[in-house]
A and B are shown apart, each in its own frame.
Chain A
Amino acid sequence: MPTAMPDAMIPRTVIPYTVEPRPDTGLSNVKIGVWLFLASEVMLFGGLFAGYIILRVGSTDWLPGSAFGLSVPLAFANTLVLTISSITMVAAWISLLRKRFSQYRRYMGSTLLCGLIFLVLTGFEFAGRLRQDQYPSTHIFLALYFTLTALHGLHLIAGMGYNAYLWGPGSRMWETAPEQFTQRVEASGLFWHLVALVWILLFPMLYLL
């Protein structure tokens, strides 16, 4: 009967360039990985934006968001909240670069709070639509509105989940591997900025034009 190998005898493979830049690309593995992921996200949202333009141009009975009673003040508040959250996100990363961990926790906590406010305001908006019997099947605009905002909301929830981990249990890594932890926060910040940028483009598309 085979016996388990003692833990000390298991060969450890260290993945190179986790923190240091690769000599061939000048970038670390984490940065290349996150940018490849962001490229796939740009293709996803790019396809949906293209779909919006094609459906809008081709539609014979297009109606703007105002026809369905979409709230511009609420959406504008959401735009401001996400812009502020990007500012606090980058401030959290810079706090780690300056070795100020408690400041990092405050800024990351503020980012999470902004994300939560965004979700609550979006929830009000969705509830308003459903109360007025406005569903994706009601009109082509609503189909686009629900698809784009719901997909964006899912991305925001995913970003909040990872940020909550980096704010809470994941932040223990700061004591053992501070450089790696800082890089994780930067990668999360890059994703968060993509989510904010997508909303900044969605706001005029869905609410003003």
Chain B
Amino acid sequence: MSLKAVHIVLVVVATIVIASSGAWLMQQALASGSAIDWMVAISACSAALALPVYGMRFLNGTRDVGYV
């Protein structure tokens, strides 16, 4: 398994964890109303949206690199 394959696994796991954390943090922000909580929640949701986009671009840009 090459670094490319492991990187894709990392992007998928990070997307799942950050998206779930984003939902949890959003709940916390709604409950507390704190500006820092909102900032962290919005950052998590943005990262969860940006990671799959990056992953697709990475896959398209490394078609010539193997998975083994």
A residues neighboring B (CB under 8 Å): 26-27, 35, 72-73, 76, 79-80, 83, 86-87, 90, 93-94, 97, 186, 189-190, 193, 196-197, 200-201, 203-204, 208
Contact = CB atoms under 8 A, between A and B. Distances in A.
Contacts of B36: 73
Given A83-B47, A200-B14, A72 B3 contact: no
B65 A80 contact: no
Contacts of A80: 43, 47
Given A76-B40, A197-B10, A186 B3 contact: yes
A202 B14 CA distance: 12
A76 B44 contact: yes
Interface string B24-55: 11001000000010011001100100010010
A190 B6 contact: yes
A contact patch SS: helix
A100 B40 CA distance: 36
Contacts of A200: 10, 13-14, 17
A94 B54 CA distance: 15
Contacts of B13: 197, 200-201
16 contacts: A27-B68, A35-B1, A72-B25, A73-B39, A73-B40, A79-B17, A86-B10, A93-B3, A94-B65, A190-B6, A193-B6, A197-B10, A200-B17, A203-B17, A203-B21, A204-B21
Interface of B: 1-4, 6-7, 9-10, 13-14, 17-18, 20-21, 24-25, 28, 36, 39-40, 43-44, 47, 51, 54, 58, 62, 65, 68
Contacts of B68: 26-27
B3 to A, nearest CB: 5
Nearest to B7: A90
Given A83-B14, A204-B17, A190 B3 contact: yes
Contacts of B24: 208
A24 B66 CA distance: 19
A80 B46 CA distance: 11
B20 to A, nearest CB: 7
A196 B3 CA distance: 13
A76 B62 CA distance: 29
A30 B6 CA distance: 16
B33 to A, nearest CB: 15
